[in-house]
Amino acid sequence: MTGRPAFGMRSADGPADGPADEAPAGPLPPDARVDLARERAESQADEVLDSLDRDLVGLAPVKARVREIAALLLVDRVRARFGIDSGRPNLHMCFTGGPGTGKTTVAVRLAELLHRLGYVRKGHLVPVTRDDLVGQYVGHTAPKTKEVLKRAMGGVLFIDEAYHLYRAENERDYGQEAIEILLQVMENQRDDLVVVLAGYKDRMDAFFASNPGMSSRIAHHIDFPDYEPAELEEIGRLMMAREGYRLAPETVPVFRDYLRRRRVRPRFANARSVRNAIERARLRHAGRLLAAPGEVDLAALTTLLPEDFLASRVFE
């Protein structure tokens, strides 16, 4: 936490000290005062938090946790300016939830937020699965895992379905080696890397029960519930609006009914299934327009009709 610009600082009995880009020589005197609002504005963290609110439907508890973490980091860096060394907070996390519930999307925003608040140097996300970390032969796992860790330094390492790293039935599985390297780095290099483990809640719980070392290094558990029908509809509308489409009034009940039926079918992937349904509707819409000879207007180019969804097979 050294070398940061001196945002929003002033002495108790004087105006703001000099230009904002002058670094302070040492810790602030005990009677100094720091303008938290200015500190907050300078970090530009609110842009990321606002875009989370704007771009993602629902997920209120997830958004609240991310805001809490942002507040902690902001206050921490002001404390550091007074010379209070509280150590780096542990930010390794576990995101539990079904497919398509927004875990990767939130992790991308989180990485950016951690960067803006000075916690990590770069703020990129490296998403991986077991195959990226674990080799097939003896001696292959350590270099693979270390290479991934090297790529992730300065950002967030997102391990999807992390429980695949551990195979209870095989003591000599190479996944164990990857876990041990991860554990070490999570403990010793947490000043420039945040690890997010993601996956289904029950499987994640079983993984932690068998890997207490991993469990104890995770500071934040955040659950991403499946979306309710109304949320799926809103997600769909948001996606369509972004792409310049809208539903004709008579399409609304058809789309709603499609989501209701799709939701209870196997391999339903929440927002991702909504996206896929829209992609298919776009294809049909385009085919329909081309099949009808004549001119098109803006309304025709942007309006999805019931038949664009009706042909959608609910098991896709």
Ligand X SMILES: Nc1ncnc2c1ncn2[C@@H]1O[C@H](COP(=O)(O)OP(=O)(O)OP(=O)(O)O)[C@@H](O)[C@H]1O
Main-chain phi, psi angles of 297, to 5 degrees:
-115, 180
Does residue 105 interact with ligand X by CB under 6 A?
yes
Find where tokens 């993601």 sit.
198
Nearest partner of 46 among 57, 38, 35, 56, judged by Cα: 38
DSSP-assigned beta bridge partners for residue 224: 97
Query: How many residues belong to the site for ligand X (CB under 6 A)?
Result: 19
Choices 74-82, 113-121, 268-276, 304-312; region in contact with ligand X by CB under 6 A: 268-276
**Cα–Cα distance measured from residue 95 to residue 43, given in angstroms and rounded to the nearest whole number:** 25
Does residue 271 interact with ligand X by CB under 6 A?
yes
Q: Min. distance of Cβ 59 from ligand X in angstroms?
A: 5
Find where tokens 């090297």 sit.
150
C-alpha dihedral over 32, 38, 44, 47, to 10 degrees?
140
| Residues 32-61, mask of contacts with ligand X (x by CB under 6 A) | ------------------------xxxx--
Question: Which residue from 156, 182, 185, 235 is in contact with ligand X, where contact means CB under 6 A?
Answer: 235
138-197 binders of ligand X (CB under 6 A): 160
Q: Min. distance of Cβ 83 from ligand X in angstroms?
A: 40
Instruction: Please enumerate in sequence order all residues whose Cβ is within 8 A of that of 153, keeping only pairs 6 or more positions apart, or say none.
Output: 121, 189, 192, 193
DSSP 125: E
Choices 38-46, 111-119, 207-215, 271-279; region in contact with ligand X by CB under 6 A: 271-279
Q: Min. distance of Cβ 264 from ligand X in angstroms?
A: 18
Does residue 126 interact with ligand X by CB under 6 A?
no
Instruction: Name the token pair of 142.
Output: 């350590």
Q: Min. distance of Cβ 199 from ligand X in angstroms?
A: 7
**Cα–Cα distance measured from residue 136 to residue 62, given in angstroms and rounded to the nearest whole number:** 36
Residues making contact with ligand X (CB under 6 A): 56-59, 97, 99-105, 160, 235, 238, 269, 271-272, 275
